[in-house]
């Protein structure tokens, strides 16, 4: 922590800052300049908010030197994390390796027929995971809330029939144990990125977690949320960029494609992209999927539906079967251009 004092700061002001450092168990180094006195504190930086110093009398500015996260930082595992999945039905797949892993499926499980069709489309085109929600967080209480555990059963069956792994959203910590029976990769939705109770409980399992960035979360906050899971001992965390909220309204949100290479620099965790929620518009999913892979995404989460016009939820950004086939064909070329496969 570095504290820069104002030009006219008194000796008392300076001493107060030093005292505060000592209370916080930091060791302090003082550098008296011509204009400004600068105090450097070394200690458990992530416990202290720089704002605590900023408001002290005579303080001009305060900066945190060290990252507020440790286990999520690239320095902790410079070679990068690879999250591995293996099963008799679906074989092996690695997230964070050479393959761009595609996860496809509908917003929600609606019926046995629908999820089976989706699984067929996903598998036929090279997706490795079947995605679908059974518990649906909807901003309106009147929206379709999902089929619950029954939906998870249908999802698992459909995935197994087509040799796919399963990814599905967990919305509450009391459901984790039940969901682990059906789901290979537990998704934390954007609205729950700072549901710390949920994150902590997920840290206590060994089931891989897909953590989506909140729509107004900074990259640092995303990594801090990952840190919650990692500190519990679960290192199988995959991040997901799904767009942030800005003033632009043509698309549902603004995909922060740059977050992909930034996360790769700051952290060892794999990161995938969700161009379906990121754009909210079916016809923009393919170009944004290409962009994400070109920027280095380790995978994609894509919504598909056999008949999007009749989907109970999120039909607007679901790909029709033929669109998804075309998307996958294009991805193969882009992935090859960045030295990867799909």
Q: Which stretch binds a second copy (CB under 8 A): 27-35, 115-123, 148-156, 178-186?
A: 27-35
Q: Which of 315, 323, 325, 326 binds a second copy (CB under 8 A)?
A: 315
Give the strand pairing for 37-42 and 27-32: antiparallel
Least Cβ distance, residue 93 to a second copy (angstroms): 23
18 near a second copy, judged by CB under 8 A: no
> For residues 321-340, which are near a second copy according to CB under 8 A?
330, 333-334, 336-338
Closest CA to 29 of 11, 41, 16, 14: 41
196 near a second copy, judged by CB under 8 A: yes
Q: Which of 65, 89, 204, 329 binds a second copy (CB under 8 A)?
A: 65
Dist. CA 57–CA 10, nearest whole Å: 9
What is the helix (H) or strand (E) element at residue 286, kind and residue range? helix 285-294
DSSP string for 157-218: HHHHHTT-EEEEE---GGGHHHHHTT-SEEEEPGGGTT-HHHHHHHHTS-S-EEEEPPTT--
Dist. CA 280–CA 317, nearest whole Å: 5
279 near a second copy, judged by CB under 8 A: yes
Which tokens belong to 90?
């679906």
Pick 153 or 254: Cβ nearer a second copy: 254
85 near a second copy, judged by CB under 8 A: no
* Longest CA span, the chain: 76
Which tokens belong to 172?
């509450």
Pick 88 or 247: Cβ nearer a second copy: 247
Dist. CA 208–CA 93, nearest whole Å: 13
Least Cβ distance, residue 237 to a second copy (angstroms): 13
Helix axes 112-124, 321-337, angle to 10 degrees: 30
Dist. CA 43–CA 257, nearest whole Å: 34
Q: Which of 121, 210, 238, 295 binds a second copy (CB under 8 A)?
A: 295
Buried b (16+ CB within 10 A) or exposed e, 207-239: ebbbbbbbbebebebbbbbbbbbbeeebbbbbb
Q: Which of 11, 12, 79, 140 binds a second copy (CB under 8 A)?
A: 140
Q: Which stretch binds a second copy (CB under 8 A): 86-94, 146-154, 166-174, 234-242?
A: 166-174
Q: Which of 99, 161, 194, 323 binds a second copy (CB under 8 A)?
A: 194
- x/- track of binding to a second copy for residues 88-127 (CB under 8 A): ----------------------------------------
> For residues 225-254, which are near a second copy according to CB under 8 A?
225, 227-228, 231, 244-252, 254
Q: Which of 131, 156, 242, 290 binds a second copy (CB under 8 A)?
A: 290
Pick 148 or 163: Cβ nearer a second copy: 148
176 near a second copy, judged by CB under 8 A: no
List 244's β-bridge partners, or say none: 254
Q: Which of 15, 197, 206, 341 binds a second copy (CB under 8 A)?
A: 197
């Amino acid at each position: 922590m570095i504290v820069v004092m104002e030009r006219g700061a008194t000796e008392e002001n300076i001493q107060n800052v030093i005292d505060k450092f000592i209370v916080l168990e930091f060791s302090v180094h003082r550098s008296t300049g011509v204009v400004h006195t600068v105090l450097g504190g070394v200690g458990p930086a992530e416990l202290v908010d720089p704002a605590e110093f900023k408001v002290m009398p005579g303080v001009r500015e305060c900066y945190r030197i060290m990252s507020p996260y440790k286990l999520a930082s690239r320095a902790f595992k410079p070679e990068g994390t690879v999250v591995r999945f293996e099963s008799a039905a679906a074989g092996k797949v690695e997230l964070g390796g050479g393959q761009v892993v595609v996860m496809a499926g509908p917003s929600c499980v609606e019926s046995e027929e629908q999820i089976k069709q989706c699984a067929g489309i996903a598998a036929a085109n090279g997706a490795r995971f079947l995605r679908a929600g059974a518990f649906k967080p909807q901003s309106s209480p009147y929206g379709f809330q999902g089929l619950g555990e029954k939906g998870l059963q249908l999802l698992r069956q459909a995935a197994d029939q087509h040799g796919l792994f399963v990814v599905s959203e967990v919305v509450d910590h009391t459901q984790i144990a039940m969901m682990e029976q059906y789901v290979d990769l537990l998704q934390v939705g954007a609205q729950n990125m700072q549901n710390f109770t949920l994150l902590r409980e997920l840290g206590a399992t060994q089931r891989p977690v897909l953590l989506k960035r909140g729509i107004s979360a900074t990259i640092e906050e995303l990594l801090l949320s990952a840190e919650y899971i990692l500190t519990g001992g679960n290192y199988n965390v995959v991040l997901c960029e799904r767009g942030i909220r800005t003033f632009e309204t043509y698309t549902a949100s603004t995909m922060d494609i740059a977050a992909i290479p930034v996360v790769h620099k700051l952290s060892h965790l794999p990161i995938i992209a969700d161009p379906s929620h990121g754009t909210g518009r079916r016809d923009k999913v393919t170009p944004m999927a290409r962009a994400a892979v070109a920027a280095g995404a380790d995978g994609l989460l894509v919504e598909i539906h056999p008949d999007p016009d009749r989907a109970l939820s999120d039909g607007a950004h679901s790909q029709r079967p033929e669109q998804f086939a075309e998307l996958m064909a294009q991805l193969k070329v882009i992935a090859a251009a960045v030295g990867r496969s799909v």
